[in-house]
Amino acid sequence: MKIVDNRGAPPELVRLVDQLGQEVEGVNQVILDAFVPELRKDRAIGAFEPTAKIIIIDLGHCITDYRWMKYGALYIANVWLNMVVSVFHEFAHADQLNSDDITIEEMEQDPELHAMIEDDAITKAMTEAHTYFGQGHITPPLREMGWAGEKIAEVLNNTYKDIPEQVMEEIEVHKSGGAAELMAASSALPRFNEENIELLKENIDREQGGVKLGGRYYMTMAEFVSSTIEQSLYN
């Protein structure tokens, strides 16, 4: 499998792509780029072209897609989660074609089957992301995120003049390993109740997970993904 990095992708993302390329058959090439014209209409963060067996990961759209922030994720964590999930998602599509039960023609001609395949790929992507972060992988420092890190820094610098306290909080939480503000996530995700919120707070107070800064509680990426895995949030 060939990896074509047209932007200077985060080294950890390249490593993950290479690992999956060794585990999943049926991928000829993975292109890491930004604002790819073919993906512009839907602002997709990734795509799999089944005939040529090419995966495209759009780092630009990963930066401008804020889907996880609706559920309490901080901006930097949101971008990294987009990248990781998009890689797992597109490799899941590639792996689906390794099954004798699915053909390219069926995928393209049967809308109901296409929807089922998409749901299956999303489920697999979130499960794999949950495992990945559960193994201790974290959001890399901006200096280790290549082109994307530079663009994230630009966003934070441009935002600082309007909301300096929030930007500084984002940076400090990121450095400390936090990914999502607990109360924001708990109000947006139905899996939370008063009991498990208090349990998470107690664990953070005991330094057994998460981060506490300025009296506010933040989940790690592993905790955040665990809280979202049962929700249909990827769409």
Q: Taking residues 91-104, report their average pLDDT.
A: 81
Looking at the predicted structure, is the pLDDT value of residue 89 above 70?
A: yes
The structural domain count of the chain equals 2
Give the Å distances, CA to CA, from 216 to 78, 120, 222: 19, 36, 18
pLDDT band at residue 235 under the 50/70/90 scheme: very low
Q: Taking residues 181-191, report their average pLDDT.
A: 90
Residue 85 shares a structural domain with residue 200: no
As a whole number of angstroms, the distance between CA 150 and CA 147 comes to 5
Residue 110 shares a structural domain with residue 62: yes
Residue 125 shares a structural domain with residue 26: yes
As a whole number of angstroms, the distance between CA 32 and CA 44 comes to 13
Q: Taking residues 215-230, report their average pLDDT.
A: 90
Edge to edge, the sheet with strand 216-219 lists: 180-181, 216-219, 211-213
Q: Is residue 72 part of a domain?
A: no
Looking at the predicted structure, is the pLDDT value of residue 234 above 60?
A: no
pLDDT per position as a tens digit, 105-117? 666 677 777 788 8
Selected residue with higher pLDDT from 97 and 43:
43
Q: Is residue 14 part of a domain?
A: yes
Domain membership of residue 170 as a residue range: 142-228
Q: Taking residues 194-222, report their average pLDDT.
A: 91
User: The whole model's pTM is what?
Assistant: 0.93
pLDDT per position as a tens digit, 14-58? 999 999 999 999 899 999 999 999 999 889 999 999 999 999 999
Looking at the predicted structure, is the pLDDT value of residue 230 above 90?
A: no
Q: Is residue 233 part of a domain?
A: no
Residue 111 shares a structural domain with residue 41: yes
What is the per-residue DSSP string for 116-135?
A: HHHHHHHHHHHHHHHHHHHT
